[in-house]
């Protein structure tokens, strides 16, 4: 696939500067891109490469002031990073749209209903009463359990598993190895010290425009639904427990875990390896730093926390700064103790 600078400018609502007829067929990093490739510049640290890059087209911010002559054709846009993401999305859409049809061997239950332009790769399994929307792509090894619904334009990457009764919205991308709808971790302790499994009879609802990385797990609810709201983005290796709700446009980085029945608000940012206990709530706009351990509810919107147990960010910084001074403070205390002892030993008995 080839696109000219003029065509790309129309897609990203940009303005060309240079030869608008030059064409590209792929992408490259600005520091090592070659002829026929498109690059972008949004970070000023990389501006030096703009003047030496071999890329045919470069996306740049519209307010960039050139310091030297540039050989590449420029496309000026309000936000080069966002425009580049738009192009990558369009490129991927075109590539996946070419996939359609049902490969063999695969299994599709007679009661399942598939929309138009669906792609089912070899070794996929589609259970009873499944409903699949238009333009859905199911890659090799995908399992779709009974009574699952999948909305339009969604993609299940190789080996993704969707257990029975779960609902996947429109424009959802679930990456390889992820499991949606596995049993929540529910066991009742018995008098003899053993545990009795509590059946998990709920489901998982994943709303529109959600992306879930590879090898993540989202447990089904004990009753009701575990819910991932529209626009949420989950990284690889994430655990979402039963009856959790993740709010709209919340992002969670790799290896984080959210325990059962916790409600995470909208536009929350959770760093890698953070852990959140169960049955609490996280206010909208909160930021939880990497490796933080959140043990109680965050009630005020836009709060930033860090540490384990996690507490308010600026207070944590002050505590860390004080902690770094402890050796110096200890030394001063020892010196003061010595001075006090010295003064006591120098006192004259029955003196004035």
Buried b (16+ CB within 10 A) or exposed e, 109-139: eeebebeebbbbbebbbbbeebbbbebbbbb
- Residue among 154, 17, 3, 29 at smallest CA distance from 77: 17
Buried b (16+ CB within 10 A) or exposed e, 280-313: bebbbbbbbbebbbbeeebeeeebbbbbeebbeb
- Going across the sheet that includes 26-27, the strands are 15-17, 73-77, 57-61, 37-41, 26-27
What is the number of alpha carbons within 13 Å of residue 129 lying toward its C-beta? Answer: 8
Which are the contacts of 43, defined by CB distance < 8 A and separation ≥ 6? none
Phi, psi (5° rounding) for residue 122? -60, 145
Q: Which residue among the candidates 175, 242, 279, 341 is catalytic per the annotation?
A: 242
3-state secondary structure of 258: strand
Q: Specify whether 341 is catalytic.
A: no
- Residue among 126, 233, 240, 136 at smallest CA distance from 182: 240
By annotation, the residues acting in catalysis are 242
């Amino acid at each position: 696939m080839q696109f000219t600078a003029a065509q790309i400018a129309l897609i990203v609502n940009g303005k060309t500067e240079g030869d608008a007829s030059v064409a590209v067929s792929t992408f490259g990093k600005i520091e090592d891109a070659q002829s026929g490739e498109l690059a972008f510049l949004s970070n000023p640290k990389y501006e030096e490469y703009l003047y030496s890059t071999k890329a045919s087209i470069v996306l740049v911010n519209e307010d960039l002031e050139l310091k030297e002559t540039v050989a590449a054709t420029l496309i000026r846009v309000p936000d080069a990073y966002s425009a580049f993401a738009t192009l990558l999305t369009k490129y991927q859409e075109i590539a996946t749209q070419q996939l359609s049809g049902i490969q063999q061997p695969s299994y599709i239950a007679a009661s399942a209903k598939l929309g138009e332009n669906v792609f089912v790769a070899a070794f996929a399994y589609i259970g009873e009463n499944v409903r699949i929307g238009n333009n859905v792509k199911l890659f090799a090894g995908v399992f779709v359990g009974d009574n699952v619904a999948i909305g339009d334009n969604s993609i299940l990457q190789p080996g993704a598993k969707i257990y029975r009764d779960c609902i996947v919205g429109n424009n959802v991308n679930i990456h390889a190895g992820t499991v949606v709808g596995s049993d929540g971790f529910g066991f009742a302790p018995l008098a003899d010290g053993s545990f009795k499994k509590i059946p998990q009879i709920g489901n998982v609802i994943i709303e529109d425009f959600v992306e879930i990385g590879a090898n993540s797990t989202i447990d089904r609810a004990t009753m009701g639904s575990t819910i991932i709201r529209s626009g949420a983005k989950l990284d690889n290796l994430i655990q979402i427990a039963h009856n959790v709700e993740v709010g709209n446009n919340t992002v969670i980085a790799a290896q984080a875990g959210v325990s059962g029945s916790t409600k995470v608000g909208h536009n929350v940012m959770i760093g890698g390896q953070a852990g959140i206990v169960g049955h609490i709530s996280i206010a909208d706009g909160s930021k939880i730093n990497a490796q933080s351990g959140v043990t109680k509810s965050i009630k005020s919107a836009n709060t930033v926390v860090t540490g384990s147990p996690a507490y308010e960010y600026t207070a944590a910084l002050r505590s860390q700064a004080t902690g770094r001074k402890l050796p110096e403070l200890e030394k001063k205390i020892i010196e003061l103790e010595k001075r006090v002892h010295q003064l006591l030993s120098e006192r004259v008995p029955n003196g004035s």
